[in-house]
Amino acid sequence: MAKRGADQLSPIERMSKKSAQEESLLNELMVLIGGVRDDLLKGQAVTVASLREEIQALCTDLTGEIKSLSEGLTKVTEVADQNSMRLDELNERIRFLEDENKMMKAKQTDSENCDKRSNIVFQGITETILDDQLELEIERICSQVLKIDKSVVVERIHRIGNKPRNVQARPRAVVVKLLSFKDRQLLWENRRKLKGSNLYMEEHFAVDIQQRRFQLLPYLQTARKCGEKAVMVGDKLLIGGQRFSSEAADLRSLQLRYGDAIDHSQVQLDTESGPAVCFYGKHSPFSNYYWSPVDISGKKFDSNEHFYTYRKCQLADRPDLAFRAEHARYPSEATSIGRPVKLADDMRLELMRTGLMAKFDQNEDLKRILLGTGEKLLAEASPIDLFWGTGCGLRSENLRKPSTWHGRNEMGKLLMSLRSEYRNFEEA
pLDDT tens digits along 373-386: 999 999 999 999 99
pLDDT higher than 70, residue 244: yes
User: From the centroid of its chain, how far is CA 205?
Assistant: 25
Q: Give the H or E element holding residue 138.
A: helix 134-140
Task: Give the Cα separation of 361 and 380 in Å (integer).
Answer: 21
Residues 6 or more apart whose CB falls under 8 angstroms from that of 232 comprise 213, 216, 217, 220, 238
Low-confidence winner among 25-34, 77-86, 387-396 (lowest mean pLDDT):
25-34
How do residues 139-156 score in pLDDT, each as one tens digit? 999 999 999 988 889 999
Q: What is the value of pTM for the model shown? A: 0.54
pLDDT above 70: percentage of residues in the chain: 87
Residue 147 gets the label, from left (phi > 0), alpha (psi -120 to 50) or beta, of: left
What Cα–Cα distance (Å) separates residue 8 from each residue in 3, 4, 230, 273, 399? 10, 6, 72, 67, 66
Q: What is the pLDDT at residue 206?
A: 86
Low-confidence winner among 111-115, 265-269, 286-290 (lowest mean pLDDT):
265-269
Kindly report the number of other CB atoms within 10 A of residue 306's CB atom: 30
DSSP state of 164: P
Smallest Cα–Cα separation from 176: which of 118, 248, 98? 118
